[in-house]
Chains A and B, each alone.
Chain A
Amino acid sequence: MTDETPVRALPPGQRRAESSPFGALLTMRRFAFPVFALFMLVLVPALPVPAFWIDQLNYVGLYGLATLGLVLLTGVAGLTSFGQAAFVGVGAYTAAYLSIHFGVSPWLTLPAGVALAVLVALVLGAITLRMSGHYLPLATIAWALVIFFTISNMDFLGKYDGLNGVPSIRVGGRSLGDGRSLYWLIWVFALAAAAAVGNLLDSRPGRAIRALRSGTTMAEAMGISTLRYKLVAFVLAAVLGAVSGWLFAHFQRSVNPSPFGLQKGIEYLFMAVLGGAGQVWGAFVGAGVVKLVEDQLQVLLPRLIGTSGNFEIIVFGIVIVLLLKYAPDGLWSFVARWRPAPARARDWGAATPLPARAKPARGTPLLEARSLRKTFGGLVAVNDVSFSVRAGEIVGLIGPNGAGKSTTFNLLTGVLGLSGGEVRLLGEAISGLPSREIARRGVSRTFQHVKMIAEMTVLENVALGGHLRTRSGSLRAMLRLDRAEERRLFAEAERQLERIGMAAKMNELAGNLALGPQRLMEIARALASDPTLLLLDEPAAGLRHQEKQALAAVLRQLKDEGMSLLLVEHDMDFVMGLTDRIVVMEFGNRLIEGTPDEVQASPAVRAAYLGTEH
């Protein structure tokens, strides 16, 4: 793991390293992971730690592994799952069943368990990840119960009694039979997984996964297949769960259904939320605190109450409620506050530029909208509107509120489906394509309400725009084989930020910017996709006068560089001084099309904006 990982989501408003008075901590930060790994892998086994505490640490590692999957799935990607324990069960039962009944070596049951978990995750994911909002967490409750009751009622899996006599794992002829000898194997897996997830989060697929939390529209507009990355996060979480289950089976030497039920799934979610759901190390902090406190409570509470029973869930329940009320960012955020993320080392100076697409010659017909029509029930929002954009032009689409501008915009970008008409880009029909396919063909856009990942830096946000121009997948990212391409991508992102005059702010958190710079950042992000046509949705809305002037200057400069732009706007002044041609809409109809002067002179336009005298 290199110095810029793990990437942690910082709460907005937090200072970054350059301005931090705790700069000295940075050097510590660079060595934090190796020092921690050395401590866990060398020092703990070497010291005379009592067997009880070794076992505790084993559980922390096992739970931490499973929770790490939830950190990725729930904390980072925003997909709440109550079913993580079921995947742990899949791994554990595969290991137990194959090794007991067929004498298969544990080293073969590991890939078998992982493969089965991947298969189950793919099937469940394909069905449930399309669900929106709270339907997904409810579905995870349902299939967690389904898997639990299936395992509990299978004769060959021993029903509620489970399977006993799981053999120990052997490494180089040595049996890892007791907790102490299994300890290092558990923690090698745990640390490797933490490093891999940390690497992943700071990479092309990682940024795509981080983009999922704030909805799909922006990510899809950047060419990211959100379903695919949801599935990636889901499958990775399942794999981490299955690995944890495999270790669990060989640690306990027996399996039964109860640790894989819904209750445990909720407990894993609790560990993730407690530790800090977006944070790699939060998984282990959460697992550690829960495991240690659970043990103490299991001894203490029955003694206090006078009878035995799992009373610790009372405390857990109350702590969940209090936690979400008072510290929704989890425990790790308190650590993170004192360890600001360092500025990204600028290592892309010599990177070769990313390939660029061939641009059409100035004046070629670029975008053609023919009789666009959109109806919502009986309401005709856009009524047979036609216009075109030629390469190298700035065209404005204006109209009073409710004229259908934004709907038209959404029709062009594939966010809404057309009720009639068609859209052609360079002669090819793009109507009916999903927005990421339209992005792939060279149409990039910004949003009326800025859509960004507030806890990523400006540079990383802009790099999202280059998603389609890069290829690295999750596996390469986890193994850090993607660095050459990352350098090229960041070089491109920096180049686009320079182009709009924002290079100085590239290491700031996007959420800390004012609205004006956020709008410009969205333009840089769109430019990073190397578009042939740039669509801007009300770029001047909510900007102060100076910010508007800065924006106009940037857009003019882009036009001079040969970029083609279509902007939807209702600020007349802003559009008049900037555009070559203007299309005016009113009540879903195209009112008039012409040069700014013609539009300004038109009595029809004046009537549309100001009303008529009768």
Chain B
Amino acid sequence: MDLTIAGILALDGVTNGAVYALLALAIVLVFTVTRVIYIPQGEFVAFGALTLAAFQTGKVPGTVIFLLVMAGLAAGLDAYQALRRRDAAARIGARALRTLAWPLAASALAIWLAPKNPPLLVQALLTLALVTPFGPLVYRLAFASLADASVLVLLIVSVGVHFALTGLGLLFFGAEGYRNPSFWDARLALGPVTLSGQAVIIFLVSIALIVSLALFFERSVLGKALRATAVNRLGARLMGISSEAAGRLSFTMAAFIGALSGLLIGPTTTVFYDSGFLIGLKGFVAAVFAGLGSYPQALVGALAVGLIESFGSFWASAFKEVIVFGSIIPVLLWRSLRDPQGEDH
């Protein structure tokens, strides 16, 4: 291997690592706030990429019906529970409106705009608007009522959600894979290495998102509320922070980050309805590297995963997954020895 190849591999690794970093941040966020080990994070990556792919062909994406079904279920569940509590009709209505407003608006917009072939940026924004509401809906349907369950129960539930979402992905997007066009077709020569426009966009968006997340957690009340919930759920509750609202917010952010990652990697690889799982798991490896707790460490872990993957695929391309997932085991061992968990759960 000469320096040029090393440079190409490193660039490739860092590009992928930037996307894994976003996913790792989402996974850390969800875990610290809700203790859910969020296996389905990768699904939103696939949903994002496939939704954009549908817009590209001028079709209304399957996401619309998918989203409306989920929103309908959530609203129905809310209404059923409210009726059993004998809530006032106005309150039930307001709640249904809150659950349905965004999905309905986003869907209407998508149905109206899709055949008009809007510019790529509009399609991307529509995609984010369609995929992000999946977060709170998944939280509402699967996790909200299990807030006090153990981490293990939540993990198995999260595996169940992953199954359901993958199957529904097949139902609404079909088995075909898509590759999206680049957001920016430029090629920049960087010494012996060429930097693609898409890679530049990936870096810029990742950095922008990481910075805005940092500002959100440091500066905004909402961000501080999330951090408080992560540190101590009961304490935060006593301070008037609803842990359910915090959970909903963290799932919303995770879905947004997932969809964004899907937009970013869509042009670099062909995405199928079930591609998200392995991509998400790589974000996971990075998140676990950070003990599912630290954002900066997750960042480092993600870059490491990206590099291990790109160099691994150079030396033993068939075994790159083996190398990536094998590398998590020593990390897990080190983590579990470093911060052993108490057993009075």
User: Is the pairing of A and B real?
Assistant: yes
Residues of A within 8 A of B (CB): 80, 82, 127-128, 130-139, 141-143, 145-146, 149-150, 153, 214-217, 266, 269-270, 273, 305, 307, 309-321, 324-325, 328, 449
On whether the beta carbons of A320 and B159 are closer than 8 Å, the reply is yes
On whether the beta carbons of B329 and A318 are closer than 8 Å, the reply is no
CB of B100 closer than 8 Å to a CB of A: no
On whether the beta carbons of A131 and B281 are closer than 8 Å, the reply is no
CB of B96 closer than 8 Å to a CB of A: no
Q: How many residues of B contact A (CB 8 A)?
A: 49
On whether the beta carbons of B153 and A324 are closer than 8 Å, the reply is yes
Within 8 A of A (CB), among B316-345: 318-319, 321-322, 325-326, 328-330, 332-333, 335-337, 340-341, 343-345
Contact among B156, B336, B344 with A130 in the assembled complex (CB-CB below 8 Å): B336
Residues of B within 8 A of A (CB): 37, 141-142, 145-146, 149, 151-153, 155-157, 159-168, 170-171, 174-175, 281, 284-285, 288, 318-319, 321-322, 325-326, 328-330, 332-333, 335-337, 340-341, 343-345
Contact among B146, B165, B170 with A325 in the assembled complex (CB-CB below 8 Å): B146
Distance (whole angstroms) from the CB of B76 to the closest CB of chain A: 15
Given A130-B337, A132-B340, A149-B319, A313-B163 contact (CB < 8 Å)? yes
Closest Cβ neighbor of B151 among chain A residues: A134
Distance (whole angstroms) from the CB of B13 to the closest CB of chain A: 19
Q: Point out the residues of chain B lying under 8 angstroms from A321, CB to CB.
A: 141-142, 157, 160-161, 164
Q: Can you list 10 pairs linking A and B with CB atoms under 8 Å apart?
A: A135-B335, A149-B321, A266-B163, A273-B156, A312-B167, A314-B163, A317-B164, A320-B160, A321-B161, A324-B153
In terms of DSSP, what is the predominant structure of the interface of chain B?
helix
Contact among A135, A143, A214 with B336 in the assembled complex (CB-CB below 8 Å): A135
Give Cα A420–Cα B153 distance, bound, in whole angstroms: 41
Given A135-B332, A138-B37, A312-B167, A324-B160 contact (CB < 8 Å)? yes
On whether the beta carbons of A134 and B155 are closer than 8 Å, the reply is yes
19 new A-B contacts at CB < 8 Å, known A145-B325, A324-B156: A80-B156, A82-B159, A132-B336, A134-B151, A134-B155, A136-B336, A137-B152, A142-B332, A143-B326, A150-B322, A214-B343, A215-B344, A269-B156, A310-B167, A313-B163, A317-B163, A317-B166, A320-B159, A324-B146
Contact among A133, A142, A270, A311 with B171 in the assembled complex (CB-CB below 8 Å): A311
Give Cα A80–Cα B158 distance, bound, in whole angstroms: 14
On whether the beta carbons of B163 and A145 are closer than 8 Å, the reply is no
On whether the beta carbons of B333 and A310 are closer than 8 Å, the reply is no
Closest Cβ neighbor of A449 among chain B residues: B344
Distance (whole angstroms) from the CB of B202 to the closest CB of chain A: 25
Closest Cβ neighbor of B322 among chain A residues: A149
On whether the beta carbons of A138 and B175 are closer than 8 Å, the reply is no
On whether the beta carbons of B149 and A324 are closer than 8 Å, the reply is yes
Closest Cβ neighbor of A308 among chain B residues: B175
Q: Point out the residues of chain A lying under 8 angstroms from B141, CB to CB.
A: 321
Give Cα A328–Cα B153 distance, bound, in whole angstroms: 9
On whether the beta carbons of B322 and A139 are closer than 8 Å, the reply is no
Q: Point out the residues of chain A lying under 8 angstroms from B155, CB to CB.
A: 80, 134, 137
Distance (whole angstroms) from the CB of A33 to the closest CB of chain B: 30
On whether the beta carbons of B343 and A138 are closer than 8 Å, the reply is no
Distance (whole angstroms) from the CB of B323 to the closest CB of chain A: 9
Given A134-B37, A134-B151, A146-B325, A266-B159 contact (CB < 8 Å)? yes
